[in-house]
Amino acid sequence: MKDKHTDRIPNQPTDEDPIEEEEEEKNLFEKTNDQNQQIDAIQKNTTERLTSFPITEIPPEKPVDIKNQDNIEQKDLKFLNKEQIEKTLSILKIRFDEHPKRHKGVEWEKVKKTLEKNRKALWSIFQMEKEGHEPDIYSADKEGFDIGTCCQELSERNRNIVYDAEAEKICSKETNGNAADITRSMGIDIITEEQYKKLQKTGKYDRETCTWLKTPDKIKKTNAALAGFRYLIVQIGKREASNPNIKVGVRGTLRVLWNYSPIKFRGIKKEE
């Protein structure tokens, strides 16, 4: 009896059958072998990265005081001229428009007016731009917004650094400085774990690099510091604070209040 869909009799061997079966088995073997190699590579990469950044239980930090914007000494503050202000705002607006996912519901005109009143914040943003941080707003609420390092991967000049000055003192390797002093010099802060997670919700950052995170003193006393990166998911762990790495660097962040009012220096009244 013949098969309805072919001219062949079912189960009747032909000269083509062994070749077809052999070819199918060969293709299946090659496909399976490729998949196994990919899985092995992913597992190896995951093991290596998680060994460098072990996941640990980190106690929650105290909430950041958003009213404190004195991140830089007034005597060290240099204000921008009109041309620098216009250039800084122009570049910031371009990036703001290109990445709407980072700041849903935030209006540029409101941001612009706020920054025009806050010369200290503008100076810090200018420094971040100059140092390759690609600053942008990544979080906002009714009291203010956070603007920080938003490049997908950290630039080379912002990597190969240790956590802070204490770590740099005991470091025996050549570095590009330390995260605490670098951010302080720009009038900004090291990004916190909470802020880092907010940033990661707006895109995929640090798939090839790793970022130092604001670390409690309790952990720093052990010559360790928090660090974050993304591999499949966002990972937070601890690294040796005094051990630089060409992949490890810093992301800065600045809190700007909507109702910021500059304090005007009125001078000291002379005694009569």
Residue 53: is its pLDDT beyond 60?
no
- Relative to beta strand 248-250, strand 210-212 is parallel
Other residues' Cβ atoms within 10 Å of the Cβ of residue 90: 9
Task: Taking residues 56-85, report their average pLDDT.
Answer: 51
Residue 144: is its pLDDT beyond 50?
yes
> What pLDDT score does 69 carry?
38
Q: Which residue has the higher pLDDT, 76 or 163?
A: 163
By C-alpha distance, which of 130, 251, 257 is closest to 200?
A: 251
Residue 32: is its pLDDT beyond 60?
no
Mean pLDDT in the chain? 79
Burial 92-131 (b: 16+ CB within 10 A, else e): beeebeebeebbeeeeeeebeebbeebebbbbbbbbbbeb
Q: Which residue has the higher pLDDT, 16 or 93?
A: 93
Residue 8's pLDDT band, with cuts at 50, 70 and 90, is very low
Residue entry with tokens 């190699």: 37
Residue entry with tokens 């390092």: 149
Residue 56: is its pLDDT beyond 50?
no
Task: Taking residues 121-140, report their average pLDDT.
Answer: 97
Residue 22's pLDDT band, with cuts at 50, 70 and 90, is low
* φ, ψ of residue 235 in degrees (nearest 5): -115, 135
Residue 118: is its pLDDT beyond 50?
yes
Q: Which amino acid is at 48?
A: E
What percent of the chain shows pLDDT beyond 70?
A: 67
Residue 170: is its pLDDT beyond 90?
yes
Residue 259: is its pLDDT beyond 50?
yes
* Concatenated DSSP letters of 155-210: -GGGBS-BSSHHHHHT--S--S-BHHHHHHHTT-EEPPHHHHHHHHTTS---SS-E
Of the chain, the end-to-end C-alpha distance in Å amounts to 124
> What pLDDT score does 154 carry?
97
Enumerate the domain spans of the chain. Answer: 74-257
Task: Taking residues 191-217, report their average pLDDT.
Answer: 97
Residue 75, both tokens: 């005597």
Task: Taking residues 239-268, report their average pLDDT.
Answer: 84
> What pLDDT score does 108 carry?
97
Q: How many CA atoms lie within 13 A of 171 on its CB side?
A: 22
Strand spans (E) along the chain = 135-140, 144-149, 189-190, 210-212, 224-231, 233-240, 248-250, 252-257
Distance CA 65, CA 30 (A): 58
> What pLDDT score does 251 carry?
98
Task: Taking residues 105-131, report their average pLDDT.
Answer: 96
Lay out the sheet containing 144-149: strands in order across.
135-140, 144-149, 252-257, 189-190
Residue 251, both tokens: 């992301």
Beta carbons of 169 and 57 less than 8 angstroms apart: no
Contacts of 149 (CB under 8 A, 6+ apart): 128, 133, 134, 135, 158, 191, 250, 251, 252, 253
C-alpha 100 chain-centroid distance? 17
Beta carbons of 95 and 121 less than 8 angstroms apart: no
Distance CA 98, CA 96 (A): 6
